[in-house]
Amino acid sequence: MSVGSLSISGAEQVLRPDRHGRPYLRGDVAFRQTVQPGGLSVRDGVIAGVVHDPTCDVLVDASGCAVIPGFVDCHTHLPFVGWRAVEYEQKIAGVPYEQISRSGGGIASSAQALSEATDEQVLAQSVALAGEMAASGTTTFECKSGYGLSREGELRALELARALDSRVAQTTTSTALLAHAVPPLYSATDWMDEVETMMPEVVRHGSVSALDIFVESIAFSNADLTRMGALAASAGLALRCHVEQFGGLRSVPVALAAGARSVDHLSTLHSDDIPALADAECAAVLLPAAEFLGAEHRAPGRELVDAGAIVVLATDANPGTAPVFSVPLVIGLAIRLYRLTALEAVAAATLNAAWTLGLHGDRGSIEVGKRADLVVIDGSIEQIAYRFGHNPVLAAFVAGEPVFIRDDARARFQGL
Ligand code: NIG
Ligand code: FE
């Protein structure tokens, strides 16, 4: 569907940064965003003005609604196939993730499912999930490999990510999570040697923008993190890392020294590591759905915001620790569990998440000249968390094109 120009009018709230061109909204300035009634117009897929323009082809009545930037889900494990509901039952019964993982569950079981599935099966499930994400307001998301667990498997996962990108309404990015679990018959060091030899193939298509590693007692070490950082730097890719999820390995200083673009999870972050992280050009990506569903420790979200960190929220969408695809639900969890404000949480899931992916120049906030990735919600910004579990999304737009319109919102559209 191509709508030409579009104008949204009569919103109770339009959320914008306090000034043009901010790359991110650190915790100490997120509260300065402006929330005003009004509208905006879109031409050629780009935000053309922050006032209603009645000459546009399509007119959207946003009375009673808020207009916010499309959500950027910067930490997901798509594409994957299958589910692991049995593990969730084990967790509820008190079996720790590490134990599930050591007994063949966890990442290894999703790797097995991936190796047994056809490309079409993987893509069918992942495309359907991307549709759910669009209906929850996600207009950009990150893909990760990591369930390949072999040279061929990882390269296939990256290829599946490219195929997924061409089949979904959103824009995606691709992260090579080349060190997720130590593959059978390898030591961590031997596998890192293998990763090093894979790099020319990893970067060949130009689709991969970051490398990632899971640093944990059941996975890789801080020394492997340093090595992954060097590989990322020499390939010109960003370094992302899963750190401080369970073990408290004090990986954040190591990640910062390795030039990480983001440190993700942080559930066991040591309080002494907060100031350096808050001062760094490194995003603190918090994943409250994994923490909640796994009864994990809780990241110091409020403290990170107060210290001025680039705080980010994401789903961690994966078949194990977080089978969750809704950013509004994650915002609801984060506001309650970390005691964030609505403006802090929305900034964390939009502009700050876009910065994590290197996409802040053209999306993540409502600014003239940026891509018109927008969400219209059926109440105020504060209601996203307050009406916990309700999907507030009435309509979502990617580059000005509607990718989701809720049935009861169709009457608000004129000219479609
Ligand atoms: O981000 N922590 C490691 N990776 C994922 C979980 C992967 C899985 O359990 O399949 C995470 O939580
Ligand atoms: Fe993850």
Reported as a single tens digit per residue, the pLDDT across 284-326 is 999 999 999 999 999 999 999 999 999 999 999 999 999 999 9
- How far, in Å, are 293, 315, 397 from residue 412 at the CA level? 37, 30, 14
Q: Whose CA is nearest to atom 3 of ligand 1?
A: 214
Yes or no: say if 262 and 291 are a contact pair by the CB < 8 Å rule: no
**Does the beta carbon of 107 sit less than 6 angstroms from any atom of ligand 1?**
yes
Q: How far apart are CA 141 and CA 74, in angstroms?
A: 6
From start to end of 228-315, where are the E strands? 238-243, 262-265, 283-286, 310-313
Q: Are strands 374-377 and 66-69 parallel, antiparallel or unpaired?
A: antiparallel
Q: How far apart are CA 79 and CA 88, in angstroms?
A: 20
Q: What is the mean pLDDT of residues 390-406?
A: 98
Residues of the chain with CATH 2.30.40.10: 6-69+363-414
**Does the beta carbon of 214 sit less than 6 angstroms from any atom of ligand 1?**
yes
Q: How far apart are CA 306 and CA 195, in angstroms?
A: 38
**Does the beta carbon of 173 sit less than 6 angstroms from any atom of ligand 1?**
no
- How far, in Å, are 235, 239, 324, 352 from residue 363 at the CA level? 25, 21, 23, 10
Size of the chain in residues: 416
Read off the pLDDT band of 98 (50, 70, 90).
confident
User: What percent of the chain stands above pLDDT 90?
Assistant: 97
Please state the atom number of ligand 1 nearest to the C-alpha of residue 320. Answer: 9
Q: Domain spanning 6-69+363-414: which superfamily?
A: Urease, subunit C, domain 1 (2.30.40.10)
Read off the pLDDT band of 102 (50, 70, 90).
confident
At 142, the amino acid letter reads E
Q: Whose CA is nearest to atom 1 of ligand 1?
A: 316
Read off the pLDDT band of 1 (50, 70, 90).
low
Q: Are strands 34-43 and 6-16 parallel, antiparallel or unpaired?
A: antiparallel
Reported as a single tens digit per residue, the pLDDT across 130-158 is 999 999 999 999 999 999 999 999 999 99
**Does the beta carbon of 392 sit less than 6 angstroms from any atom of ligand 1?**
no
What CATH code is assigned to 72-356?
Answer: 3.20.20.140
- For 357, phi then psi, to 5°, come to -90, 0
Q: Helix, strand, or coil here: 377?
A: strand
**Cβ within 8 Å of residue 195, ≥6 positions away:** 178, 179, 228, 231
Q: How far apart are CA 354 and CA 74, in angstroms?
A: 7
Please work out, in degrees rounded to the nearest 5, the angle formed at the alpha carbon of residue 71 by the alpha carbons of 65 and 75: 155
The encoded tokens of residue 404 equal 């989701």
Reported as a single tens digit per residue, the pLDDT across 32-74 is 999 999 999 999 999 999 999 999 999 999 999 999 999 999 9
For position 320, what pLDDT does the model report?
96
**Does the beta carbon of 110 sit less than 6 angstroms from any atom of ligand 1?**
yes
**Does the beta carbon of 367 sit less than 6 angstroms from any atom of ligand 1?**
no
Reported as a single tens digit per residue, the pLDDT across 162-220 is 999 999 999 999 999 999 999 999 999 999 999 999 999 999 999 999 999 999 999 99
Q: Whose CA is nearest to atom 8 of ligand 1?
A: 320
Rounded to the nearest 5 percent, the helix, strand and coil shares of the chain are 35, 25, 40
* Mutation pick for ligand 1 pocket among 242, 246, 264 (CB with most ligand atoms within 8 Å): 242
Helix orientation angle between 222-235 and 188-203, rounded to the nearest 10 degrees: 20
Residues of the chain with CATH 3.20.20.140: 72-356
Q: How far apart are CA 338 and CA 309, in angstroms?
A: 14
